[in-house]
Amino acid sequence: MKHTISALVANRSGVLADMAEEFKRRGLNIRSISSGETENPEVSRMVICFESEDGLNGDDTGGVIEAVGRMPFVIQVDDLSRREFVDRELVLMKIQRDGESLSQLMQILEVFRAGVVGLGERSITIELSGDSERVEGLIRMLSPFGILSMARTGKIALKRGDE
């Protein structure tokens, strides 16, 4: 099962490593981890996406969330998997192109509202921001052209509404 947690943490060295170590100790694979300053430069928000084989209330999932909440540098932790949230991811891709494929590539980019950030004689570099499904969809559509290189930020997320 896929899980997304959001943690407000002290913005200091070693926090990311300690957080990742807790997941490693429990044998949980982190699929994506993002961290950055909040409106308060002394606080960072970490968004961690991971998968577990247990249900939402299973020992591994509940245990890691409780353990994260007890870490001395953690201010607040939320299991976003239990609530509505908004998520985004950024992807940059360099795609192989020739004169004949440019028109078809541009049509695909227009459908996904992706932007061109670089154009070479044999490649096109694009960017897209969106939810994970949108990013995955663009990757599937561009794979036949030949993805030369790709970088993804990982998911960032916030709870919806006034919470």
pTM higher than 0.85, yes or no?
Answer: no
Verify that 36 and 61 share a domain, yes or no. yes
Residue 113's identity, in one-letter code, is R
Verify that 17 and 73 share a domain, yes or no. yes
| Closest residue by Cα to residue 41 from 78, 12, 20, 18 | 12
Domain-terminating residue out of 40, 55, 82: 82
Residues 6 or more apart whose Cβ sits within 8 Å of residue 144? none
Separation of alpha carbons 121 and 116, rounded Å: 14
Verify that 29 and 51 share a domain, yes or no. yes
Count up the domains in the chain and report the number. Answer: 2
| pLDDT per residue rounded down to tens, the chain (163 residues) | 889 999 999 999 999 999 999 999 988 999 999 999 999 999 999 999 998 775 544 456 778 889 999 999 999 999 998 788 999 999 999 999 988 889 999 999 999 999 999 999 999 999 999 998 999 999 999 999 999 999 999 999 998 887 6
| Closest residue by Cα to residue 155 from 61, 62, 33 | 33
Q: Alpha carbon of 119 to those of 109, 110, 162: distances in Å?
A: 13, 16, 42
Provide the token pair at 24. Answer: 């490693």
In CATH, what number is assigned to the domain containing residue 28?
Answer: 3.30.70.260
Domain that holds residue 25: 2-82
Domain-terminating residue out of 16, 49, 82: 82
Verify that 76 and 14 share a domain, yes or no. yes
Residue 62's identity, in one-letter code, is G
The answer to whether 122 and 97 are in contact (CB under 8 A) is: yes
Provide the token pair at 39. Answer: 């409106």
